[in-house]
Amino acid sequence: MAKTMDNLKNAKRIVVKVGTSSLTYETGKTNIRRIKKLVEVLSDLKNSGMQVVLVTSGAIGVGVGKLGLAEKPHDTPGRQAAATVGQCELMFMYDKLFSEYGHTIGQLLITRSDIENPERKENLINAFDKLFEYGAIPVINENDAVAVEEIVFGDNDNLSAIVARLTHADGLVILTDIDGLFSSNPKTDEDAVLIPVVEEITDEIEALAGGAGSSRGTGGMITKLHAAKTAGEAGIPTVIINGTNPEDIYRIIEGRQVGTFFCAKK
């Protein structure tokens, strides 16, 4: 096990994905304490010489809270509108908090068509490269305001794996509302145990992922497994950890066991 965890030891560039359930309370309002902690850890890692990329969800969830809506809109225009409001609030918070630690962020809002079109993909890569060169921290979300069905990634787990590939990251860390992948659903089965390492994402492993996650976000464990697969096929390991403790990212970098580690191919 130590050998596989070592894969992320001394990583130079990591992509960290944080989900809506980690960024907001059930009230729909932002979890300020959590966001502050996350920004502090990422700023500190940046200070240590590492390059960090943040893929953040929460635009729709935070927008719903800010607009005072009772629930996430069921129609696309409703979700688009909520996202425009929430994305502002999110970036305001990130900009304010990263600035407190002397860091500069740059926002990239991406749709699937940006990746599928070779020219736009190239432009995107150039923008990432320049941001790294300038020493800024890229903060990414799906462009939910325009991401209607045909061009939607759908979930930021998938998006984070694509970003990890585009930026040639050494690792992908997914923060969520559960400790990692379990042998069965820990909410309903008290015998469920955390799986520390997944060598290969087989059908049996996918079968453990169960249903959807929280009502505020979009993905669930299955979209995280798909993300780990996408990243792994490009030689990038993924770790799924509980977003309650962003400090756990330090442990990952130290090569210690936390959450579920998904080995990369090759």
Q: Which residues bind ligand GLU (CB under 6 A)?
A: 19-20, 57-61, 83, 141-142, 144, 155-156, 217-219
Least separation in angstroms between residue 58's CB and ligand GLU is 5
As beta bridge partners, residue 171 has: 14
Q: What are phi and psi of 133, to 5 degrees?
A: -60, -40
**C-alpha torsion 17→21→22→28, nearest 10:** 130
- The neighbouring-strand residues paired with 18 are 56, 175
CB of 190 to ligand GLU, least distance (A): 28
Please, what is the minimum distance in Å from the beta carbon of residue 56 to ligand GLU?
7
Q: Considering beta carbons, is residue 61 or 237 the nearer one to ligand GLU?
A: 61
Burial (0-12, 13-18, 19+ Cβ within 10 Å), 133: exposed
> Both tokens of residue 94?
């990130």
> What angle, 0 to 180 degrees and rounded to 10, lies between the N-to-C axes of helices 59-67 and 76-100?
100
Is 160 in contact with 227 (CB distance < 8 Å)?
yes
Least distance CB 72 / ligand GLU (angstroms): 9
**DSSP 8-state assignment for residue 91:** H
For ligand GLU, give the closer residue by CB, 30 or 218: 218
Rg of the chain in Å (alpha carbons): 17
- Between 43 and 141, name the residue whose CB sits nearer to ligand GLU: 141
CB of 144 to ligand GLU, least distance (A): 5
Q: Among residues 73 and 232, whose Cβ is nearest to ligand GLU? A: 73
Q: What's the chain's length in residues?
A: 266
Cα–Cα dist 52/167, whole Å: 10
CB of 36 to ligand GLU, least distance (A): 19
The residues facing 198 across adjacent strands are 262
Cβ distance to ligand GLU smaller for residue 141 or 260 = 141
Rounded Cα distance between 232 and 182, Å, is 19
Our CB check for ligand GLU shows the closer of 107 and 257 to be 107
Measured from the CB atom, the residue of 218 and 230 that comes closer to ligand GLU is 218
User: Residue 207 Cβ, how far from ligand GLU at the closest point, in Å?
Assistant: 22
